[in-house]
Amino acid sequence: MDFEAIEIAARRKALAVAARVIECRINADTSDHTGPAMRCPCGELARYAGRRAKTFQTVLGLMTLERAYYCCDCGKGLYPRDRSLGLQQTSLSPSVTRMIGATAAMVSFEESSTLLGELAAVHVDAKQVERTAEALGRQIEAHERIPLARAAPPAETMYLGLDGTGIPMRQAELEGRAGKQSDGSSKTREVKLVTVWTAQGRDDQGNAVRDPGSITYSAAIESAASSDTDEVSKFAQRVDREAQRRGFDQAPRRVALGDGALWIWNIVAEQFPGAIQIVDLYHAKEHIFEVAKAIYGASSELAKQWATQRNDEIDAGDLGKVLDALAAHKNTNQQARKCFDYVTNNRDRMRYPEFRAQGLSVGSGVVEAGCKVVVGARLKRAGMHWSTAGANAIIALRCCKLSERFEDFWEARSTRMRLDAA
């Protein structure tokens, strides 16, 4: 006896029976015929033109529903039932749309299509998954721009991290853009990410550690530079929205972490004056290892020893010794010269013993991990090339899902659709 085959067959039959029952019930109800005419959104009257059938993909399988159709001189057809059921301008039920959003936020469109078919017996091709997921991402972007009441900070000390990472783009999106290729062209555009979290917990050594479930993300391919026509950059506005959403701007003690890039500290200084600025320790040590490899060779034991000694000095707060060691090579090694300037410019942001004594987190990789988790794991996979609009939509969807805000968005979306249909 093949129990798995019996299970699958029984499930398919049960779903088909349920689909037919619902289909018959909806089609027997003609209350969507509201009279000989109804008002069209264009302002004109739309005339009743009979009933029309359309097949929809639902979690129970395909359903063919008959709906009243109203015709308007503006060329738009009106289906009152589609609006009331959340089926307007789509062939997917709300539940299928939600499933697509949940899966496409985490895996590729092709993988999402496969998962829906294998796990839920819902068959949506990869292209439709792409269109639906991107549409949801755009709705999420619009939803998160709606002004909210300032949230109360969940902790006395809150952290905000800023970082950027490149993603592969379609060639048409890169025309005229300078880059790091040998011919001066670019293959990528930079996604900028803001991360907010708390770190009230402590490890065995008493160091601050990120509180589980406290981290949220917001990101997009956006400029961090202000312009004459837009005094505050688009990304700075995004940072401000996320800070207000989480209550970071109201926290008694605010800490901003970054990799040392000037645009990061410019945004922090403008948006959050008085916040404690810290160069993420992971990034600081990464710079040291890059110098060691440039001086002594990537696989050299001497490089490892030199980097370990410098990083021990960073942990101890002996930045003078670090600068002396870099100065010995800065005239002959470009990486050493860059790192010397980096430590010099960020010296006040690298006072790690002092920060730790205050009970502050100095990084622990949260900022770096954010780029990998939010962007890299979904948008930097083999063979992927994005349009700006498509990338930003999926980034918004993924941030919403990873920040555990997808349920709130979906509830707000459902409420708005019900009000629109009323």
- C-alpha to C-alpha distance for 317 and 353, rounded to whole angstroms: 6
CA 306 to chain centre: 38
| Whether residue 347 sits in one domain with residue 264 | yes
Is 141 contained in some domain?
Answer: yes
Is 176 contained in some domain?
Answer: yes
Percent of the chain scoring above 90 in pLDDT: 77
What pLDDT does 421 receive?
66
Task: Report the pLDDT averaged over residues 233-238.
Answer: 93
Q: Is residue 377 within a helix (H) or strand (E), and if so which, with residue range?
A: helix 377-379
Is 151 contained in some domain?
Answer: no
What pLDDT does 363 receive?
82
Name the domain count of the chain.
Answer: 3
Is 172 contained in some domain?
Answer: yes
What pLDDT does 364 receive?
66
Is 118 contained in some domain?
Answer: yes
Residue whose C-alpha is closest to residue 102's, from 379, 405, 372: 405
Is 35 contained in some domain?
Answer: yes
| Whether residue 412 sits in one domain with residue 273 | no
| Whether residue 195 sits in one domain with residue 50 | no
| Whether residue 297 sits in one domain with residue 223 | yes
- C-alpha to C-alpha distance for 161 and 217, rounded to whole angstroms: 10
| Whether residue 382 sits in one domain with residue 241 | yes
Of 56, 87, 118, which closes a domain? Answer: 87
What pLDDT does 256 receive?
97
Of 40, 58, 87, which closes a domain? Answer: 87
Q: Spell out the SS3 assignment of 280-300.
A: CHHHHHHHHHHHHHHHHCCCC
Task: Report the pLDDT averaged over residues 190-208.
Answer: 91
What pLDDT does 185 receive?
80
What is the extent of the structural domain holding 14?
1-87
Cβ–Cβ < 8 Å for 248, 160? yes
What digits encode the pLDDT tens for the residues 314-345?
A: 999 999 999 999 999 999 999 999 999 999 99
DSSP secondary structure string, 235-274?
Answer: HHHHHHHHHHHHTGGG-SEEEEEESS-HHHHHHHHHHSTT
- C-alpha to C-alpha distance for 94 and 188, rounded to whole angstroms: 35
**Look-up: residue for tokens 């004594």?**
357
| Whether residue 243 sits in one domain with residue 170 | yes
| Whether residue 414 sits in one domain with residue 382 | no
Is 152 contained in some domain?
Answer: no
What pLDDT does 228 receive?
47
| Whether residue 163 sits in one domain with residue 17 | no
Q: Is residue 416 within a helix (H) or strand (E), and if so which, with residue range?
A: helix 406-421
| Whether residue 397 sits in one domain with residue 414 | no
| Whether residue 133 sits in one domain with residue 25 | no
What pLDDT does 206 receive?
81
| Whether residue 177 sits in one domain with residue 116 | no
Name the pLDDT band for 362 (thresholds 50, 70, 90).
Answer: very high
Of 38, 63, 87, which closes a domain? Answer: 87
What pLDDT does 318 receive?
97
| Whether residue 140 sits in one domain with residue 18 | no
Is 140 contained in some domain?
Answer: yes
Give 80's contacts (C-beta < 8 A, 6+ positions apart): 32, 34, 38, 67, 68, 70, 421
Please state, rounded to an integer, the average pLDDT across all residues of the chain: 92
Written as six digits, the tokens of 199 are 């770190």
**Look-up: residue for tokens 């819902």?**
122
What digits encode the pLDDT tens for the residues 164-178?
A: 999 999 999 988 787
What pLDDT does 419 receive?
77
Name the pLDDT band for 227 (thresholds 50, 70, 90).
Answer: low
Q: Is 35 left (phi over 0), alpha (psi -120 to 50) or beta?
A: left
Task: Report the pLDDT averaged over residues 146-156.
Answer: 85
